[in-house]
Structure 1
Amino acid sequence: MIELLGWASRSLVFLRYTREFQETRKIFQNQLSRQTSLVYQETQIRQALILVQNLLQSPDKLEAHLQRFSASVIMEIAYGHHVTSEDDPFLRIADKINELTAGVGPQGSNIVDFFPILKKLPAWFPGAWFVRYAKESYPIYCRMRRYGFDEVRKEMARGTAKPSFLSLNLEDLARGGTENEGTENEDKLERLEASAFHLYETGTETTSSAVHTLVLALLLHPQAQRKAQEEVDKVIGSGRLPDFGDRESLPFVECLMYEALRWHSPAPLGIPHQLMEDDVYRGMSIPKGSTVIANIRSMTLDEKTYREPNTFFPERFLPQPAGFGEPRPDCVFGFGRRACPGQHLAEASIWIVLATLLAVFDIRPIQDEYGNDVIPPEEFHNSLTSHPAPFKCSIRLRSDLAKRLLA
């Protein structure tokens, strides 16, 4: 289905392991390594503050505010663009991406995934909804992918472009002396265009889903929320908000983040892989060309790895005797040379939001007409990513001091 929609074209996630894959992945590794990701921390802190201010003004719009946060961080990193209004064209693109993604459905849920020959059906054929959907969606996708790329090139020509993933790579290309040299240069430009949009389209939804899951975890597990707040108060005090310099001093907050990722991964089935040659796994013969789907949710709930895996217990990652010394769920970011190159960037965005929320807000259940807490169900919706079903909660300032800090 992804191939039918044209999303696999030059997208790092879906490229075969070729020279193009290696060169494309290098683009990401150069800009998104653990060390180079540090330059984006100012953006992440600023957007986390905007998020909590928006939640203070309209706490009933939780999902929309989380979506705006993740889209704003990624678009500023990818394109150097600052969101200035709710009608920002980049935000509209983010909304459209979510709409198109939801229409695809979970991996393996479409018959064309199992019988690729069906993609050759004409759009009018009964039951060929996926052909019609792709035909309608593909030109929209192409326009979205091109928009940010064209805007950055215009700004570079005017001398007004801000440093970003795309502008820095375009500058490197220009310094290489191939800015206007034929087919090879056009190929590199297309690769940069696709890479910047890939960062935008994948980073926005997964980060938003992960933070949304964290908020639900805080709501359903108030004891973990209180313990994390106590740690934040002890380390940071009352005169400022958290920043990345506090991260190593907040081990329980770190554990809380990883436990939420383990509890409900944003991508519970990861990305499908295809075998490049025949293989044998535990006595099972798997022929070349087979599609293999990694059940990440099963891995993060594996009883051989995690004690009482269905229990939300952030301390499990702490060394004994404080915890179980269990491994962090790195599998949620993929595997090997296919692992997510933006892992460090994503973790930083999730962490700064969590730490800031804990410092200023209490997240509690709403109450019914009789004063009883209304606890939402642990329900998730799945498409290419997994995110909590809409739920209501009370988001209130912890103190007048927190209000002054935000002001």
Structure 2
Amino acid sequence: MAGITSMPMTALAVVFAVALVVGNRKKKREGPPLPPGPPPTPFVGNVSGIDVSAPWLSYAKWGATYGGIIYSRFFSQDIIIINSEKIAKTLMENRSHIYSDRPVIATTEPLGLGFNSVLFRYGAKWRQHRRIFHQAVRPDAVVAYRPLQMQKGHQLLLDLLASPEEHVQHLVMHSGAIIMSAVYNYDTLPNNDPFMTVIEKATKIIVDELRPEVAAILSAFPILLSFPSWFPGMSINGRTADSKKYTKAWVESPFQYTQETIAAGTATPSMVSDALSKIEGKDDETEMTKAIKEVAATAFLAGAETTQSTLRVFILAMILYPEVQERAQALIDAVVGTDRLPNFDDRESLPYIDAILRETMRWNPVFPLGLPHAATEDDIYEGYYIPKGATIIPNAWAMAHDETKYPNSFEFIPERFIAADGNLTEDQATFTFGFGRRICVGRYFADGSLWSAMALMLATFKFSKAKDANGNDVDFDVKWSTGVAIHPLPFPCSITPRSRGMNAEKLQQLIRASH
């Protein structure tokens, strides 16, 4: 695997000779061919040359040669990469009975993520968690969260006004505060919140160590997880101990907080309190309580990271495409005026804001490879053989940059989601949320959190490039984080109020006028 980080490769050399002796070569078989793919190299497979910091780019490049469905192999693991949204829907939606499983990811348990239902194998436990999720965030239920989303959006504006240079941390706190309130009815502290601190520490490790190349190597050689952390290249085994400690506190502490408010009679509606009230006194109360606790912790991981990352992409787009920002702000001024802030009642009259939201998700998907599926049966697609047990990787990044569907795909063009009559098109870029039975169940909740934040920020602030001492724009190269979820790394920018003389008091007046 050319260019791969040395993190596990030093240790991999120790088991390499043994693995060669044991052998992982596949037996020749008769029947339909596997999908096309790069020629394999001995033992390792056909993954040589992948950019491990951004494998979705390599997979998309392969697609130009081999098409929308590609076969790869990493040691003994069959991998099917899908670059085509049409093929992904055919397999993972139309044949969801085959493609709804998850592969075993070697880093799940060591990182303390055994509670995370997003990573569960397909089965009864996953269905139980899914039902709990669905009750809280189904389309008709998420309407109840709108006042909360607006309230936290207003606080985000106040924070950005007070210290715009700390906008990244404000976005992180905003995204986490929405989830903590919705799930646990817990109001986070503005600084050094104990729950948020431990969750942020855990999330950082998890996002780093769930990198595709790390998980793939450790899945191929799980023995590496038993190596001491001081062994060259195996620092991950030290970080997993920290992750387990943090995730245990993450799962237990906020849940215990909600239980205490219920016992004290001070609890108000939240995902956890509502779910617990429905199981009180039932025979399976203990089992269901554990499931609710795990679902609640999963909701935070799934929601907070993606929301703040998407909002960082949004700010980047507004800076790089000022004409889009200006058009959106002119529309808000025309529909809402300048004496109050937009709210959800205005949404139908502001289709361009929805178009910006969709284009933000499409332009640079924060989960560029989605989460892998696994085939539970042998299958045939268009004459190609897909073996049972294969890992199925939907390349959302390639789908987002399909030039036949999205011309000039690297440009930020919200108008592509506006029909000729001025209404939104039917395309909602749902491939960014996954496919089939494993599609993100919280997508409707996320939609409200993103729309409210984007509309409020556009109404209040101008986003532009930073200026140097001579008043010239400071240009920058966009760099991205790595891992299972990505976001733009910090870049120089200017966030200034659109209204002259705006201060905290005037902003509070606008907020009060918006209720």
Name the TM-score, length of structure 2 as normaliser: 0.74
CA shift in 2, pair 1:118/1:4, >3 Å: farther
Alignment partner for residue 288 of structure 2, among 185, 188, 198? 188
Alignment partner for residue 301 of structure 1, among 395, 401, 426? 401
Seq. identity, %: 31
Q: State the distance in 2 between where 1:360 and 1:121 align.
A: 53
* 2:127 counterpart of 1:35: no
* 2:250 counterpart of 1:144: yes
Q: State the distance in 1 between where 2:341 and 2:173 align.
A: 21
Q: Is the 8 A contact 1:361 1:397 kept in 2?
A: yes
Where does residue 414 of structure 2 map in the other structure? Answer: 314
Alignment partner for residue 79 of structure 1, among 170, 181, 184? 184
Structure in which a larger fraction of residues adopt helix: 1
Amino acid at match of 1:329: A
Q: State the distance in 1 between where 2:476 and 2:334 align.
A: 31
CA shift in 2, pair 1:120/1:205, >3 Å: closer
SS of the residue 2:212 aligns to: coil
Where does residue 276 of structure 2 map in the other structure? Answer: 170
Shift in Å at residue 243 of structure 1? 0.4
Alignment partner for residue 483 of structure 2, among 360, 369, 383? 383
Amino acid at match of 1:301: H
Shift in Å at residue 272 of structure 1? 1.4
Amino acid at match of 1:60: E
Where does residue 352 of structure 1 map in the other structure? Answer: 452
CA shift in 2, pair 1:170/1:101, >3 Å: same
Q: State the distance in 2 between where 1:198 and 1:84 align.
A: 21
> Which deviates more from structure 2 when the two are superposed, residues 288-297 or residues 117-126?
117-126
Q: Is the 8 A contact 1:359 1:402 kept in 2?
A: no
> Which deviates more from structure 2 when the two are superposed, residues 301-310 or residues 392-401?
392-401
SS of the residue 1:259 aligns to: helix
| 1:1-59 deviation per Cα after TM superposition (whole angstroms, max 9, x unaligned) | 43233554242211122122112111111110111001111111011111111111100
SS of the residue 2:211 aligns to: coil
Shift in Å at residue 381 of structure 1? 1.0
| 1:216-237 deviation per Cα after TM superposition (whole angstroms, max 9, x unaligned) | 1001100000000000000001
Q: State the distance in 2 between where 1:93 and 1:121 align.
A: 26
Amino acid at match of 1:191: A
Amino acid at match of 2:237: V
SS of the residue 1:387 aligns to: coil
Shift in Å at residue 320 of structure 1? 2.8
> Which deviates more from structure 2 when the two are superposed, residues 5-14 or residues 273-282?
5-14
CA shift in 2, pair 1:52/1:240, >3 Å: same
* 2:164 counterpart of 1:59: yes
CA shift in 2, pair 1:277/1:249, >3 Å: same
Q: State the distance in 1 between where 2:225 and 2:187 align.
A: 42
> Which deviates more from structure 2 when the two are superposed, residues 130-139 or residues 214-223?
130-139
* 2:441 counterpart of 1:341: yes
Q: State the distance in 1 between where 2:213 and 2:381 align.
A: 21
* 2:120 counterpart of 1:20: no
Where does residue 228 of structure 1 map in the other structure? Answer: 328
Unaligned runs of 5+ in 1: none
Shift in Å at residue 298 of structure 1? 0.4
SS of the residue 1:163 aligns to: coil
Q: State the distance in 1 between where 2:488 and 2:112 align.
A: 25
Q: Is the 8 A contact 1:278 1:285 kept in 2?
A: yes
CA shift in 2, pair 1:202/1:116, >3 Å: farther
Alignment partner for residue 259 of structure 2, among 148, 153, 161? 153
Amino acid at match of 1:67: V
Alignment partner for residue 272 of structure 1, among 372, 375, 378? 372
Q: State the distance in 2 between where 1:116 and 1:334 align.
A: 28
| 1:192-214 deviation per Cα after TM superposition (whole angstroms, max 9, x unaligned) | 11100101122111100001110
Where does residue 212 of structure 2 map in the other structure? Answer: 107
Q: State the distance in 2 between where 1:289 and 1:34 align.
A: 33
* 2:386 counterpart of 1:281: no
SS of the residue 2:357 aligns to: helix
Q: Is the 8 A contact 1:316 1:324 kept in 2?
A: no
Q: Is the 8 A contact 1:71 1:94 kept in 2?
A: no
Shift in Å at residue 256 of structure 1? 0.8
SS of the residue 1:227 aligns to: helix
Aligned Cα root-mean-square deviation (Å): 2.1
SS of the residue 1:95 aligns to: helix
Shift in Å at residue 344 of structure 1? 0.8
Q: State the distance in 2 between where 1:114 and 1:282 align.
A: 30
Shift in Å at residue 257 of structure 1? 1.0
Where does residue 328 of structure 1 map in the other structure? Answer: 428
Q: State the distance in 1 between where 2:359 and 2:242 align.
A: 39
Shift in Å at residue 402 of structure 1? 5.5
Alignment partner for residue 200 of structure 1, among 290, 300, 307? 300
Amino acid at match of 1:153: Q
Q: State the distance in 2 between where 1:234 and 1:149 align.
A: 44
Name the TM-score, length of structure 1 as normaliser: 0.93
Q: Is the 8 A contact 2:202 2:246 kept in 1?
A: no
* 2:196 counterpart of 1:91: yes
Amino acid at match of 1:11: N
Q: Is the 8 A contact 1:52 1:357 kept in 2?
A: yes
> Which deviates more from structure 2 when the two are superposed, residues 207-216 or residues 319-328?
319-328
Larger Rg: 2
Paired positions, count: 401
> Which deviates more from structure 2 when the two are superposed, residues 215-224 or residues 358-367?
358-367
Q: State the distance in 1 between where 2:190 and 2:421 align.
A: 50
